[in-house]
Amino acid sequence: MTEKKLSIQSSIFWNTVGSMFYLACQWLITVLVVRLSGVETAGILSLCMSVCNIWYCIAVYGMRNFQVSDTLNRYSHGSYIFSRLISCGIAGIGCLLYTLAMPYDLITTICILLYFLYKCSESVFDVYAGIFQKSWRLDLAGKSLLLRGVLTIGSFCILLPVTDNLPVTLAGMAVVCLTAILLYDIPKARKIASVKLDCRIPEVKHLFIECFPLVVYTFLSTAIGSIPKLFLERISGSYDLGVYSSVATPTLIIQMGATYIFNPFVTLFAERYTQKDYHGFLSILKKCTLAVFGIAIAGVLGGKLLGVWGLNLLYGPEIAAYVKLLIPLILCTILTAFSWLLCGVLTATRQFRGLVIANILAVISSIIFSPVLEKYFSMQGASMALALATILEIIVLLIYLGKDLRAIKKHA
């Protein structure tokens, strides 16, 4: 077993390149499904994403930031892996029961379940990416994401045109991505760290208990963005949801681009907090915040200047006619990216109470305002509801972060 630590800059570079490429492939899928199968199929795929994203957060159990900020190595790599297999199984049962309980048709139900299997491959990869990050070998995570992106978009582009069958296509995506874990992630992890499945039930049980507030937070955080879409599908139908999701997808580049930059710093936040290094902690926070706002400014300018052209290029005039949705959606992604930064910081400081309270209030806001605003403003109402919920979340997160900063400063 050999271990080679890269510089923070190299790790961030590889992680950002791989993550952005994978994100671009995910985004391209939402473009291609419109081109190849129409807006109605895009609406089904968007529904699959919205439903499965909620159960996905059960699968990952909010554990990634906890794992990479476990600077004292209280839990073994094998415990994190075993816990992930258990959480994926629990989430899978939940997703199955949910889809059977809802009035979806058979094809939609099958698509949701197959897409969740694909999301399970992401969940398992996530725990191995955490192992890479703790060893400052995010180059391996980045390369794995490059591989997963190629396999995902490749299987989609081959299977959907050939079969004209969304369930078969989603099944193919799941199979190739699970295979990538077996042939790349697991062997690479074993080369840099002692990675052996740890099935000690008491330790894994304690890990689940300690991280329970995080899975609650993650579930709530995902629901904040999913609730407006679920209401939109019920109020306006699959077509409007397909349009809204198509316009929203390019804006995710802004949101995810910001998170790929600051996520590697979660380990540093934990180290500075443990060391009671107030100035070091604050310096990293300022840099991450500036990075988010820098990307935000570029996103708004890009949307203003290239919005109509870009939507025409990606989707054609049918979707480009709804360009007025773009800037509000960009603003929502900016707010979400900043809230994710604050959530990552509070996870590093183990401020779980603040995470849960902030997201509970945001979900309540989303549930209350989504149907009201969407009834009067349709698709724009979904963005309004999301923005209101996220602003409320940010305010509460900042209050709790202020408490943590005062505590660090007091002991500095």
| pLDDT single digits (tens) 70-113 | 877 889 999 999 999 999 999 999 999 999 999 889 999 999 99
Instruction: Please give the share of the chain, as a percent, with pLDDT higher than 90.
Output: 49
| pLDDT single digits (tens) 300-333 | 999 889 889 988 887 888 888 989 999 999 999 9
When pLDDT is cut at 50, 70 and 90, the band that residue 362 belongs to is very high
When pLDDT is cut at 50, 70 and 90, the band that residue 242 belongs to is confident
pLDDT for 11 beyond 80: no
Q: Give the residue-averaged pLDDT of 238-258.
A: 81
| pLDDT single digits (tens) 153-162 | 999 999 998 8
The pLDDT, as a whole number, for residue 325 is 93
Q: Give the residue-averaged pLDDT of 50-78.
A: 86
Q: Give the residue-averaged pLDDT of 185-189.
A: 94
SS3 for the chain is CCCCCCCHHHHHHHHHHHHHHHHHHHHHHHHHHHHHHCHHHHHHHHHHHHHHHHHHHHHHCCCHHHHHCCCCCCCCHHHHHHHHHHHHHHHHHHHHHHHHHCCCCHHHHHHHHHHHHHHHHHHHHHHHHHHHHHCCCHHHHHHHHHHHHHHHHHHHHHHHHHHCCHHHHHHHHHHHHHHHHHHHHHHHHHHHCCCCCCCCHHHHHHHHHHHHHHHHHHHHHHHHHHHHHHHHHHHHCHHHHHHHHHHHHHHHHHHHHHHHHHHHHHHHHHHHHHCCCHHHHHHHHHHHHHHHHHHHHHHHHHHHHHHHHHHHHHHCHHHHCCHHHHHHHHHHHHHHHHHHHHHHHHHHCCCHHHHHHHHHHHHHHHHHHHHHHHHHHHHHHHHHHHHHHHHHHHHHHHHHHHHHHHHHHHHC
